[in-house]
Structure 1
Amino acid sequence: MNVPNMLTMSRFVLIPLFLILYLNDQSIAALCVLLVAGLTDILDGYIARRSGQVTLTGSMLDPLADKLTMLSVILALLIKNVLPLAAFIVMAFRELVMIIASAIFHFRGLKTVPANLLGKATTVIYYAAITLLFLEQSIGVDVLWFGIALSFLASIIYFMKFRNLNRAS
């Protein structure tokens, strides 16, 4: 268990804390917890790559923590009627497909592709949209739909790279 993996694991702990705060009308505190989770996401990857501490465990847990965090956030926003149902369905579908596909790829011993730049940009846009939604800015929904569109484009690119990588092996 290295520092990057501990940072990743902390995100799993932050999910219930976020939910408790947000669902008990502590939205600013919940947003702060979410932003801390986002910061740990940035730090764990940076530290792992910079110090040569990239592990198979980390490469599996990091995207899982990301997906579960996002699923928790969009579910909470849906419960509070902040997020349109259509956006929730589309986002939840994509996140669940990515979790299931990653697990299948891993257990079949297939090589995985690291997140692409578009995927990272999507995450930043999601966090911006969520922040706007938490601050009750109506443009947050538009920003979120833009992020959703980018996420599907990033996924298509990811799966094409994945297919090419594993076809070449």
Structure 2
Amino acid sequence: MAAAGVSGQHPAHVDRVWTIPNLLSMLRLVGVPVFLWAILSKHDTLALVLLMVSGFTDYLDGKIARTFGMVSKLGEVLDPIADRLYIFATLLGLGIREIVPWWLIGVIVAREIFMIVLLLFARRDGLRELPVHFVGKAATFNLLYSFPCLLLGEGSGTLADWARPIGWGFALWGVGLYWVAGLMYAVQLRRFHAAVLRFAR
């Protein structure tokens, strides 16, 4: 992932588009509809491969961006978009196939709506975007790693028996951290708003 705080270290690259990390993020975006088709068509092997490739390229694009100074504004936008699209595509597919309950999907969607409202308030105070922090990244990591395990857990045998509880562990931790991150953003935004009001006086 391309960390927002790193971009200032490489200002010469901030407006570049055709970088390896950006191409990897674009590749992940192209894979979203293919993955959704695979999971809905019950081509679980293909779906698992796409999920693993997505997870690996998610790690790789951030590593390359930070190591070789390829952090860019476009990458900071593409990376979280790709993460969220994979999360929602996976949840939709798993929900339709009744692998995960719809209440879990509702909790995650509610958090995204909460974040949209926070972003609207942030822009009112002059913030264009909310800073990325570790808890939010940890939540995304847990959710993205829960999905292959949950999909494997639909099978039979020892591997499925191990994958199922591990997948649910990742999923529940991911949802919990997702909301913790959202509440942390709300606290930060409240403090920023109070500072804006004090400055305006």
| TM-score normalized by the length of structure 2 | 0.71
2:176 to 149, 154, 165: 149
Where in structure 2 are the equivalents of 1:82-101 lying within 5 Å? Answer: 82-98=99-115
More RCO (CA 8 Å, sep 6+): 2
CA RMSD in angstroms, aligned pairs only? 2.7
Task: Please say which of residues 56-65 and 129-138 is displaced more in the overlay.
Answer: 129-138
Give 1:114 deviation, angstroms. 4.2
Query: Are the structure 2 counterparts of residues 19 and 95 from structure 1 closer, same or farther at C-alpha, using a change threshold of 3 Å?
Result: same
Give 1:68 deviation, angstroms. 1.2
Give 1:5 deviation, angstroms. 1.1
1:117 to 130, 134, 147: 134
- C-alpha deviations, 1:72-108, integer Å up to 9, x for none? 1101100100010100111122235446755886798
Question: Identity, % of aligned pairs?
Answer: 33
Greater C-alpha radius of gyration: 2
Q: Which runs of 5+ in 2 are unaligned?
A: 1-16, 154-162
Query: Are the structure 2 counterparts of residues 57 and 150 from structure 1 closer, same or farther at C-alpha, using a change threshold of 3 Å?
Result: same
Contact 1:67/1:95 (<8 A) preserved: no
- C-alpha deviations, 1:99-158, integer Å up to 9, x for none? 675588679862545432222222222133212211124423354122201111122223
Query: Are the structure 2 counterparts of residues 159 and 99 from structure 1 closer, same or farther at C-alpha, using a change threshold of 3 Å?
Result: same
Q: Which residue of 2 aligns with 1:20?
A: 37
1:68 to 85, 95, 99: 85
State the one-letter code of the partner of 2:75: G
| TM-score normalized by the length of structure 1 | 0.83
Query: Are the structure 2 counterparts of residues 132 and 58 from structure 1 closer, same or farther at C-alpha, using a change threshold of 3 Å?
Result: same
- C-alpha deviations, 1:5-56, integer Å up to 9, x for none? 1111111101011111111111122011011111111111222222222222
Instruction: Say how many residue pairs are matched.
Output: 169
Q: Which residue of 2 aligns with 1:33?
A: 50
Moved over 3 A (4+): 95-109, 111-114, 158-169
Q: Which runs of 5+ in 1 are unaligned?
A: none
Contact 1:112/1:162 (<8 A) preserved: no
Verify: 1:158 aligned to 2:158, yes or no.
no
Contact 1:77/1:83 (<8 A) preserved: yes
